Structures are given as structure tokens and as C-alpha cells.
């Protein structure tokens, strides 16, 4: 049986990418990373991948006159790699409907909020402004609606009385580095799958996503 392959899309520093690279190296994710693709040629994440001897590809969105041309090039490039899973790790481009359809049911993203709360950007600021007592991150399958695909796992942390946007973001990011590798391993091992927009865990449909709270993992229900 061949080792599952992963393609990871990034735009920036790649801290979640690094967490995934480390988890693969430590045997916590039973898969190989076949390539890391960035739409920014100077993304730090490219250096992280190169340091781990992972192939890197740059598709600079600024070099395309039309967004559709970039989207088609990205779709074609990922398709050539024939990944079992496509992982978005801080990829700051909205994917085309064609891309999402092409890789349907094998496309994961991580979002810094407890979805469905705070879709989009500035999630930490919005959580503070809303006086939320809890905040966190969600790993979800990607759908055509932004940050709206079915959730696999969430990490929840308390919002502290002295938190600001920076401190809250840092604490959430630490949790992202924990739950993303968990979700990826579940997928590549066959424990998690998406069928007809329904998440299955160990071949059973789930009503609630898994949670990671205070270093304790609760499996999906």
C-alpha cells in the first residue's frame, strides 16, 4: 500500500506547515508531503519546506493578468501531483469553484475561530470586541462558501481578562499546531472522511466535531 501524499498551499511564514512537517518526521502523520506551493515567492514557508527537503513550487499570483488564469494554473499544478489530500496552511487566496470541485472531499483548511463564529479575517479582534469567553481554531473541509465547510476538530481556549489581539492570536496559533496534525492523520489513515457534505469518523456520521481543550482530546460524536 502506497504512502498517502499531501500537497500544502501556503502564502506566508508557514508555522502550521512546520507543525505538519514535524508531525510527519515524528511519525505522527503517516503520509509524505509531495510539495509545498506558495503564491508568494518570498514566503518564509518555502524555506521551511526546503530545509526539510520538500519540493517547492511558486505560482506568483501577481504575474497573472486575470485571476482565472492563476486559478487554472494552480488547479493544473496540484492535479499533476495527484495528492490524496490538499492542505491549506495560511493560503491567503480564495479558491475557485473549479479548484474546490476538483479536490472535493480531500481539501482541509484551518481557521482561527470557533466556526461558525467569525468567518473571514480579524477573528481575534472580533472575538475580543464581542466579549467572548472562549475562542479558538477549527479544522474544516473546504466548501464553496468561505469558512463554511464541515468542521472536523476545534481547539478551545479561554479568553483571558488581560488578552489583547496579539496575545490571543499567539495562544490560538499554539493550538492550531496541535489540532491540524491530528486532523490530517485522521484523514490519511481513513478515520475521517467527507461524504455528501457529512463528516464521518470511523465510518459513522458525526453530529459534533472533536474538541481539544486543556490538552484533552474529545473524539467526534
Per-residue cell: 37 = 506551493
Contact 33, 6 (CB under 8 A): yes
Q: How many CA atoms lie within 13 A of 189 on its CB side?
A: 14
Would you give the DSSP letter of residue 115?
A: T
Query: How buried is residue 221: exposed, middle or buried, by Cβ count under 10 Å (0-12/13-18/19+)?
Result: exposed
Residue partners of 206: CB distance under 8 A and separation at least 6? 199, 200, 220, 221
3-state class of 212 per DSSP? Answer: strand
Residue at grid coordinates 464581542: 130
Q: Based on the residue annotation, tell me whether 111 is a catalytic residue of this protein.
A: yes
Q: Which of 40, 111, 124, 140 is catalytic?
A: 111
Residues labelled as active-site residues: 111
Amino acid at each position: 500500500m502506497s504512502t498517502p501524499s499531501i500537497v500544502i498551499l501556503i502564502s506566508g511564514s508557514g508555522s502550521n506547515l512546520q507543525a505538519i512537517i514535524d508531525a510527519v518526521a515524528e511519525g505522527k502523520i503517516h503520509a509524505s508531503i509531495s510539495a509545498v506551493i506558495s503564491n508568494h515567492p518570498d514566503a518564509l514557508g518555502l524555506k521551511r519546506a526546503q530545509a526539510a527537503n520538500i519540493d517547492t513550487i511558486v505560482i506568483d499570483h501577481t504575474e497573472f493578468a486575470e485571476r482565472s488564469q492563476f486559478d487554472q494554473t494552480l488547479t493544473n499544478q496540484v492535479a499533476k501531483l495527484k495528492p490524496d489530500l490538499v492542505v491549506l496552511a495560511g493560503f491567503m487566496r480564495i479558491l475557485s469553484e473549479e479548484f474546490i470541485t476538483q479536490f472535493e472531499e480531500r481539501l482541509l483548511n484551518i481557521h482561527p475561530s470557533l466556526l461558525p463564529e467569525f468567518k473571514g479575517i480579524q477573528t481575534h479582534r472580533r472575538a475580543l470586541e464581542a466579549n467572548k469567553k472562549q475562542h479558538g481554531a477549527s479544522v474544516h473541509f473546504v466548501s464553496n462558501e468561505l469558512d463554511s465547510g464541515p468542521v472536523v476538530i476545534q481547539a478551545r481556549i479561554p479568553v483571558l481578562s488581560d488578552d489583547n489581539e496579539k496575545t490571543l492570536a499567539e495562544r490560538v496559533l499554539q493550538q492550531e499546531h496541535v489540532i491540524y496534525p491530528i486532523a490530517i492523520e485522521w484523514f490519511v489513515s481513513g478515520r475521517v472522511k467527507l461524504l455528501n457534505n457529512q463528516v464521518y469518523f470511523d465510518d459513522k456520521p458525526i453530529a459534533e466535531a472533536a474538541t481539544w481543550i486543556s490538552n484533552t482530546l474529545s473524539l467526534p460524536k
